[in-house]
Chains A and B, each alone.
Chain A
Amino acid sequence: MSTIILLLVTGLGLGALYFLIASGLSLTYGLMRVLNFAHGIFLTVGGYASWWIAVRLPLEDPWRFLVALVGCMLVGAIVAAAVEVSLIRPLYRRHIEQVLVTVGLALAFTALVQGIFGADPISYPAPRWTQGVTQLAGANIPNSRLLAIAVAAAVFLLLSAFLRFTRWGLIVRAGVENRAMVTALGIDVQRAFTLVFALGGVAAALAGALGALYFGNIDPQRGTATLIFAFIVIVIGGLGSFTGSVLAAVVVGLLQQFINYYASVYWGFSAAGDLSVVLLLAVVLLWRPQGLLGRSVG
């Protein structure tokens, strides 16, 4: 029983990271039909920015980590807005060029990080509490997983409130449905898009810092590696569906964790979790091509 509880919580923790990176991707696709293959760099930026701040701050835990977290969110927002304004905006509606530029940016940025900080993972100065465990129904749950779940839940609630109760949120929800009609009401959708891009950058940067706690280090490749699963999450959830990305992140995180554990224990096959996620993607695409909560086209 304790194993199942442990797998459940750690799976939710992994799902939390996927949600943080997938939420921004889903909203930017929903609003402007932009698939940003450079979204993973915001996660990398978040991880390295929080590490850079944390190792320099003469503060005690948990303040050092909290300040680092706020700092990485700020850096994530700035980098994301800069990418949108300088690279995505000039290529709006030119989808092939967008893919080429964002893939190129992701590769170049990873190489840049490797050039500056080295290709090897760097140990992360995790706060003491996050290195401990909490007893839950007999299972020793790593606190870093609980923190990831709590932060993702808070981000979900804040983004939901933003979408539900603010004028910008109203513009985003309407824009996901019919962008041209929103502009025909006199609204500059482009500004909403920059805002959504920046919010996506904040969430991904948070995933970077929390991922550093989860894995115990920062790594130049982590953004790219996690982005693949984030793409799977938004396709399974339904492209452009914010709620769908939450649901899919939880399903993918749990599936991956459970299959990884049991396949490893019974068959010695440790990568089965990743494979199962890809199989789930194939099943969803065959059974419901628009994703779990996506709207069918045509």
Chain B
Amino acid sequence: MSAPTATRNLLEVDDVHVHLGESHILQGVSFQVPVGGVTALLGRNGAGKTTTIKAILGLVGRSGSIRLSERELTRMPTHQIVRLGVGYVPEEREIFSELSVAENLKLAERDKAPRYDLVFELFPELEQRRAQAAGSLSGGQQQMVAIARALLNDNQIILVDEPTKGLSPLMVTNATTALKRAAQAATLLLVEQNLQVARTLADKVVVLDQGRVAYTGDVAELLADPALARLYLGVGGH
């Protein structure tokens, strides 16, 4: 696990509100993500974690302020936000099933020299399956594609939404290893239900509860305290 290299904040989320239909999903969410390391975004189902990630990317309408390296994101379209150096590994993988693995990766290229060496070092299977339709891959292989898309480019921050959801134990280990490598090159904001993975990767934690920030601090501290973990996450910390 990498330690934060500076105390400067990379991402500042300030009083963000999101309404979806009649529902007020995010109700004034505020938190900061320091430069370097992994910040976990935890909370029970429906707490607003995925919506927070989507609000940062501009995939849902939002009010409030979101700044990345002091640049305001809320007035930018999604593609411009991403071009500032924001990688995204979505919750449902959202790979393009009718495109090949190679085409999925090609589409994600933003840099002049995309880091295929890193991607194929972490996921050699993807190199072997370059020509295969991504929709015919297993769930674990599809998650490799989703993570690989974010690793291809130099990013300031990578937003990772439940990367181990539905994966076998072996694939969870692979995904965790890949995210550790990713965290060496970029700051990670990680939504994760698997507390073991969160504990392995993250140093800071932001806990959401019913669309509001309920706790911020060290992940180890939170998970070491069963009462706190039960209160905010509905589980024991150990």
Contacts and interface: CB of A to CB of B under 8 A. Distances in A.
Contact of A177 (B78, B97, B106): B97
Contact of B79 (A167, A173, A183): A183
Nearest to B104: A174
B82 A173 contact: no
B96 interface: yes
Contacts of B107: 170-171, 174, 182, 185, 187
Contact of B78 (A170, A171, A173, A183): A183
Nearest to B78: A183
A74 interface: no
Interface residues of A, number: 17
Nearest to A174: B96
B149 A185 contact: yes
Contact of B98 (A177, A183, A185, A189): A177
Interface string B107-124: 110100000000000000
A181 B94 contact: yes
B83 interface: yes
B162 to A, nearest CB: 15
Contacts of A174: 96, 99, 103, 107
A188 interface: yes
A185 B159 CA distance: 12
Interface in B54-99: 57, 59, 77-79, 82-83, 88, 90, 94, 96-99
B98 A170 contact: no
A260 to B, nearest CB: 37
Given A170-B99, A170-B106, A174-B107, A186 B94 contact: no
A180 interface: yes
A101 B198 CA distance: 51
Contact of B83 (A177, A180, A182, A186): A186
Nearest to B93: A181
A184 B78 contact: yes
Contacts of B96: 173-174, 177-178, 181
Nearest to B85: A186
Contacts of B99: 170, 173-174, 177
Contacts of B79: 183, 185-189
A174 B109 CA distance: 14
Contacts of A183: 59, 77-79, 82
A177 B96 CA distance: 7
A186 B82 contact: yes
29 contacts: A170-B103, A170-B106, A170-B107, A171-B107, A173-B96, A173-B98, A173-B99, A174-B96, A174-B99, A174-B103, A174-B107, A177-B96, A177-B99, A180-B78, A181-B90, A181-B96, A182-B107, A183-B59, A183-B77, A183-B78, A184-B57, A184-B78, A184-B90, A184-B94, A185-B79, A185-B82, A187-B79, A188-B79, A189-B79
